[in-house]
A and B are shown apart, each in its own frame.
Chain A
């Protein structure tokens, strides 16, 4: 399964100006992730996990170092080009869901398609939207507004949005941070199935050791540096663990 690296970071540094001085959020991170991997990034608060993920996701640019994404150097790309890369290759899932509150779940899911190069026609967009919603088990919820959905459902809408444009990478920053154990597990299950079945490369930032056990690889970050990078021999399968958990009634 592990083949050529999709993500290849060399000596990535990130410096934020802060008042009179500055903060070294990343102090030289070198790591590569192969296609189809599922990686957990762990570490204490303020250690630079989100900064790292944002750089990988082309939402932010490194102050120094080199970042090769799918064989292309993105560290020197323009804002325009980065936006295209985000649209085509990357799906984001955030802790706070980040859905547009005033439009329906379906409209939220469809959003990346609206900005796609060679935008598909209306029918095709609707087809892909329904497909993505079905994938996260929310086929019937397309016309709901985000505030009419539970937290777990909202996060699954966000995952549907992340996968609608068939990205090669999905990046999740503490996706279960705002959820209880069971709904968190459901979200992990959806992400895991994306990895297993669609072979999408996944990186999850989390501070919950339990969540990391579902990944094949755990990278520990501390103080802007990689402290530990290890394989997990037998990652847990969320679908199986879900069966053991007491069922809860969803709203």
Chain B
């Protein structure tokens, strides 16, 4: 009696009792589908966070202004403690690759009667390299434009799509930003949503000088992006920026900082860890349901052994050995589980797609999660099929035949 033969016998057994076979595998189907969906959702979340970290720019430190908590409190309003000069000073520090200050606010864009609100951000040319975001059409503005306070703008995908009619190339067009006239010199490619689901493409970049002098009428900046030369130098650089700014802002010993140097990538890495743990948690919940499915299989296989005692007796009477009965029942259990696994994979795959569509949350069904599910269901089949199979094989032929 070879394995293929036993397999055939087992398949015939399953085919001749379709309804029960189907009910038996329901638990496995649900378990595997749950594993696939859970892992897909978790993996999707991680993939998204990873891509967002990359889209922010690598090795990025962000310097934000803050109210000083020293003995002398600043007046009310927003903190305006950072300047372009601070940014230039930071650029002189060792390990600094690029520096891009930002001054941004919402403004109304206008093109031939069409209006649209977008975030207008004054910055320097380094911004395009820090964010790895160079225009797909036209070009970014230059250092020369900054010294000239030039009225030029680089426009993001969403802003461009909403402001210009389809088929119109924005490059070279004149647009109004809060009643000032700018010339569009570049269009940025779509970047997608940011971590918080924030739209990143509804943006217009203009020279920082123009933003300060002409648009917003202030001389501070809202934020300084600093790109370090390497990941290892981030901590050191964080310290040297802090020291530099304390000195420049004449903060006495013991006085609190009027700025904040943040390593956002580190924050996101923590977020990524959290998602990984969440994925693991979800997967183990799904694993438990798979286990319950397995116990269901065992239960039904046990019932089936009792129900089929006579069949086992008949098979033994015509020459089935203990081993062939054992393999038959084991192969039945494993086949059931694998079948359940396959159906579960299909349902899990569709379920993941559905969740992506409904929640707008990306999901990723990976080969490893499919292999995990298949392997697990086969293991469940062997583990929970063994006891009933052993019980069936251990029957005495004559007792089995007499069984009513």
Contacts and interface: CB of A to CB of B under 8 A. Distances in A.
Interface of A: 54, 57, 59-60, 79-80, 83-84, 86-88, 92, 94, 98-100, 102-103, 107, 111-112, 114-116, 119, 161, 165
A115 B365 CA distance: 43
- Find the residue from A59, A94, A112, A119 having the highest chain B CB count within 10 A: A59
A179 to B, nearest CB: 19
B contact face: mostly helix, strand, loop, or mixed? helix
A23 B9 CA distance: 38
A88 B323 CA distance: 17
Ranked nearest first, the 5 interchain pairs of A and B with the lowest CB-CB distance are: A87-B319, A102-B16, A112-B318, A115-B319, A83-B321
Contacts of A88: 319
Interface residues of B, number: 26
Contact of B314 (A98, A114, A119): A98
Contact of B16 (A84, A94, A99, A103): A103
B319 A59 contact: no
A112 B315 CA distance: 8
Contacts of B12: 103, 107
Nearest to B4: A119
Contacts, number: 67
B5 A94 contact: no
A114 B317 contact: no
Given A103-B12, A107-B12, A87 B323 contact: no
Given A114-B1, A119-B1, A98 B317 contact: yes
A59 B398 contact: yes
Given A59-B398, A94-B401, A116 B317 contact: no
B16 A59 contact: no
B318 A86 contact: yes
B1 A59 contact: no
Nearest to A91: B318
A83 B397 CA distance: 9
A102 B17 contact: yes
B246 interface: no
B322 A80 contact: yes
B17 A86 contact: no
B318 A87 contact: yes
Interface string B385-404: 00000000000111001000
A114 B5 contact: yes
B2 interface: yes
Nearest to B319: A87
B314 A115 contact: no
Interface in B366-401: 396-398, 401
Given A107-B12, A115-B315, 8 more contacts: A59-B401, A83-B319, A92-B317, A111-B318, A114-B8, A115-B321, A115-B324, A116-B319
A133 to B, nearest CB: 16
16 contacts: A59-B398, A59-B401, A60-B397, A60-B398, A79-B321, A80-B322, A80-B323, A86-B317, A87-B319, A94-B401, A98-B310, A98-B317, A102-B17, A103-B12, A107-B12, A114-B1
